[in-house]
Amino acid sequence: MSQSRGTVPHRFPLPPVTVSGRSHDAVTSRAAHRRLLCRSLSLLGRIVGDDDGGKLFTPEEYEEYKKTVLPMRLQNRLYVSWRSPTGMDCKLVGPETPCFCTHRYKQHKTDFQELPKERPLLLPCRVSKCACKSFHYIPLNGSRPIRCRCKHFADEHSVAGTYHCTQCTKCSGFHSSFTCGCSQPAYTHDTVVETKEERLAQGKPVGHDVPFAAMGGLTGFSSLAEGYMRLDESGAGAPSTSFLESSESGTSHPFLKMYYQPIKVQAVSEPSGIVTQVSNMRISEDDDMAYFERRYQERLLKEKEQKRQKNSKPPTTNRP
C-alpha cells in the first residue's frame, strides 16, 4: 500500500522522542516528580512554618508534629485584624503580614495549648533578641513604612514600650497622620486579636478549619482586599439561596445587616428599586453576551416607554 509523503504506517511504532539523550517519558516523569516535590514542600512549609528551626523534619518528626500541633491549632485558632473605630476590619492579617518590629506574623507566637484568659491577647515575637511583646500591625504607604509626626519612618522607632523614636529626642511615641482607605486616620485603628467565638458573636467570618500555621484573619480570597474594597464590611459574603428563600429576618446575616435597610428604603421610595437591583445583578448561568444583550433590550424598552409617555401628553394651550 502506498503511503503519502510525511505519513508513517500504523504498524510501525514511532521511536521514543529523546531530549538531550533522554527519552521523553523519562523527562516527563522527572518533571512530574519535581512538581509533586515542590507542592509537598510548599504544603510542609504552610503547616510547619518556622517551628522546624530551619532544619527539615524527618517523616517521623513530621507525623509527631501533626499529631501534637494540628488539634491544638484547629481548636484555638486566633483571628488577627486591624480594625477601624467603625468596626470594619480594614486589614486581615496573614502569615506574611509584617509587624511593627518588621518581622512577619508567622514569626510570632500563634499556637496556644490553652488560650489565656486575660485580654488583650499578646502574641510575642519569637525571633531571637527581638523586644516585641505582641504583634502590632502597621500599614504601608505603597511599599514603604509610614512616617511618624516626627518625620521618621516606623522602622526607626523602638518596638518596646511607647514606640519612641530612636533618631530624635522630641518624639514621645509613634503617632502617624496616615489616613486609611476607610477615611479614618491610622492612629484610630487597633490591632485586634480574638477567638473564633468572639468573632462569631460579632457576625464576622471565621472560614473553615485549616491546619496551616499563622493564618490570622484570612478566611478566603476576599480577605486579601482592604476592608473598604470588600463587598460587605463583615467579609462573610452573600448568603446562600436556601437562606434567602427562608423566612429569616433581614438582620440575621452579616451581609443583609449592611444591605437590608438601604434596599428597604429604596423599595419604599421607588417601587421599581428591587427590580432594578435584580436587573443589575450578574446571573451565574448567563454568559457575558447574554447578560449584555438582556441589559440592551431592557434599555430599548425603557426608551420606548419614555417616548410613548412623551407622545401621549396632551398639548398645552396658551390662553390669551
Write down the pLDDT at residue 252.
57
Q: Which positions ≥6 away from 177 have C-beta within 8 Å?
A: 149, 185, 186, 187
Instruction: Verify that 53 and 198 share a domain, yes or no.
Output: yes
Q: Which positions ≥6 away from 235 have C-beta within 8 Å?
A: 89, 92, 204, 205, 219, 220, 222, 223, 227
Q: Do the Cβ atoms of 303 and 294 come closer than 8 Å?
A: no
Write down the pLDDT at residue 151.
93
Q: Do the Cβ atoms of 216 and 92 come closer than 8 Å?
A: yes
Instruction: Verify that 112 and 185 share a domain, yes or no.
Output: yes
Instruction: Verify that 193 and 264 share a domain, yes or no.
Output: no
Tens digits of residue pLDDT in 149-173? 999 999 899 998 889 999 998 998 9
Within-domain flag for 90: yes
Grid cell in block for residue 257:
445587616
Write down the pLDDT at residue 270.
47
Between CA 176 and CA 145 the distance in angstroms is: 11
Tens digits of residue pLDDT in 45-78? 788 887 877 788 888 888 888 888 888 888 899 9
Tens digits of residue pLDDT in 212-223? 889 999 988 888
Q: How far are the Cα atoms of 16, 17, 27, 44, 114 from residue 31, in angstroms, in the given order?
A: 17, 16, 6, 20, 44
Within-domain flag for 55: yes
- Which residue in this structure is represented by grid cell 430599548? 300
Within-domain flag for 24: no
Number of domains in the chain: 2
Q: Which of 78, 94, 114 is nearest to 193 (CA)?
A: 78
Instruction: Verify that 128 and 206 share a domain, yes or no.
Output: yes
Within-domain flag for 111: yes
Within-domain flag for 191: yes
Instruction: Verify that 134 and 267 share a domain, yes or no.
Output: no
Instruction: Verify that 220 and 273 share a domain, yes or no.
Output: no
Residue 90 DSSP code: E
Buried b / exposed e along 275-293 (16+ C-beta atoms within 10 A): eeeeeeeeeeeeeeeeeee
Between CA 218 and CA 223 the distance in angstroms is: 5
Within-domain flag for 26: no
Instruction: Verify that 123 and 53 share a domain, yes or no.
Output: yes
Grid cell in block for residue 317:
394651550
Between CA 227 and CA 304 the distance in angstroms is: 42
Instruction: Verify that 204 and 65 share a domain, yes or no.
Output: yes
Instruction: Verify that 216 and 257 share a domain, yes or no.
Output: no
Within-domain flag for 101: yes
Instruction: Verify that 253 and 220 share a domain, yes or no.
Output: no
Write down the pLDDT at residue 243.
63
Write down the pLDDT at residue 4.
46
Q: Give the structural domain span for 129.
A: 38-139+178-224
Instruction: Verify that 117 and 76 share a domain, yes or no.
Output: yes
pLDDT tens string, the chain, 320 residues long: the values are 444 444 444 444 444 545 455 555 666 777 777 777 777 777 777 888 878 777 888 888 888 888 888 888 888 999 999 999 988 899 999 999 999 999 999 999 999 988 988 888 999 999 999 999 999 999 998 888 899 999 999 989 999 888 999 999 899 899 998 999 889 999 999 999 999 999 988 888 888 888 888 999 998 888 888 888 876 555 555 566 666 666 655 555 555 555 555 444 444 444 444 455 445 544 455 566 776 777 788 888 888 888 888 887 666 555 55
Within-domain flag for 74: yes
In sign, the C-alpha dihedral spanning 277, 280, 281, 284 is positive
Instruction: Verify that 55 and 126 share a domain, yes or no.
Output: yes
Q: Do the Cβ atoms of 109 and 246 come closer than 8 Å?
A: no
Grid cell in block for residue 65:
508534629
Q: What's the whole-number average pLDDT of the chain?
A: 78
